[in-house]
Amino acid sequence: MSIESDLYLIKDFDKKYCMQVFSPLDVAFVKGKGCYLYDTEGKKYLDMIGGIAVNSVGHGHPKLVKAISEQAKNLIHCSNYYLIPSRSELAYNLCKKASFADKVFFSNSGAEANEAAIKLARGYFYYKGMDRYEIITAKMSFHGRTMGTISATGQPRFSKPFEPVVPGFKYVEFNDIEDLANAVTDKTAAIMLELIQGESGVHPAAPDYIVAVRKLCNERGILFIDDEIQTGMGRTGKNFCYEHYGVYPDIMTLAKGLAGGVPIGATLCSDEVASGFHVGDHGSTFGGNPLATTAANTVIEIMDQEQLTANAGLVGDELMDKLQALKAKFPMIHQVRGRGLLIGIEFNPMISAAMMKDVLFERGFLVSAIGASTIRIAPPLIITKKEALSFANELEKILKSQAKNMR
Residues 360-378: pLDDT tens digits?
A: 999 999 999 999 999 999 9
Q: What is the pLDDT of residue 1?
A: 56
Count CB-CB contacts under 10 A for residue 245. Answer: 21
- The backbone torsions φ and ψ at residue 148, rounded to the nearest 5 degrees and listed phi first, read -70, -45
DSSP assignment of 142-193, as one string? ---SSHHHHHHSB-HHHHGGGPSPPSSEEEE-TT-HHHHHHH--TTEEEEEE
Concerning whether 286 is annotated as a catalytic residue, the answer is no
CATH of domain 7-57+307-405: 3.90.1150.10
Annotated catalytic residue within 106, 227, 277, 357: 227
Query: Rounded CA gap, 76 and 66, in Å?
Result: 14
CATH of the domain spanning 64-305, picked from 3.55.50.30, 3.40.640.10, 2.40.10.10, 3.40.50.261: 3.40.640.10
Concerning whether 227 is annotated as a catalytic residue, the answer is yes
Concerning whether 106 is annotated as a catalytic residue, the answer is no
**pLDDT > 90: what percent of the chain?**
95
Q: Which of 239, 233, 224, 234 is nearest to 265 (CA)?
A: 233
Q: What is the pLDDT of residue 97?
A: 86
Query: Rounded CA gap, 199 and 138, in Å?
Result: 12
Q: Categorize the per-residue pLDDT at 407 as very low, low, confident or very high, splitting at 50, 70 and 90.
A: low
What mean pLDDT comes out for the span 273-282?
Answer: 98
- The backbone torsions φ and ψ at residue 315, rounded to the nearest 5 degrees and listed phi first, read -65, -40
Q: Which of 225, 290, 237, 305 is nearest to 259 (CA)?
A: 290
What mean pLDDT comes out for the span 301-317?
Answer: 98
Count CB-CB contacts under 10 A for residue 401. Answer: 11
Strands (E) in 257-377, as ranges, are 265-269, 333-339, 342-347, 365-366, 368-370, 374-377
Q: What is the pLDDT of residue 3?
A: 79
Does pLDDT of 35 surpass 90? yes
Annotated catalytic residue within 103, 119, 238, 256: 256
pTM: 0.96
Distances (CA, A) of 229 to 168, 266, 268: 22, 9, 12
Annotated catalytic residue within 105, 106, 125, 142: 142
Q: Which of 61, 387, 123, 320 is nearest to 115 (CA)?
A: 123
- The predicted-structure confidence for 330-348, as pLDDT tens digits, reads as follows 999 999 999 999 999 999 9
Label residue 182 exposed, middle or buried (CB < 10 Å: 0-12, 13-18, 19+): exposed
Query: What's the CA angle centered on 359, arms 356 and 361, to 5 degrees?
Result: 105
Distances (CA, A) of 120 to 26, 125, 127: 42, 9, 10
What mean pLDDT comes out for the span 215-230?
Answer: 98
Q: Which of 234, 233, 245 is nearest to 204 (CA)?
A: 245
Q: Where are the domains of the chain?
A: 7-57+307-405, 64-305
Q: What is the pLDDT of residue 59?
A: 98
> Do residues 127 and 276 touch, judged by C-beta distance below 8 A?
yes
Tell me which DSSP letter residue 58 carries.
Answer: -
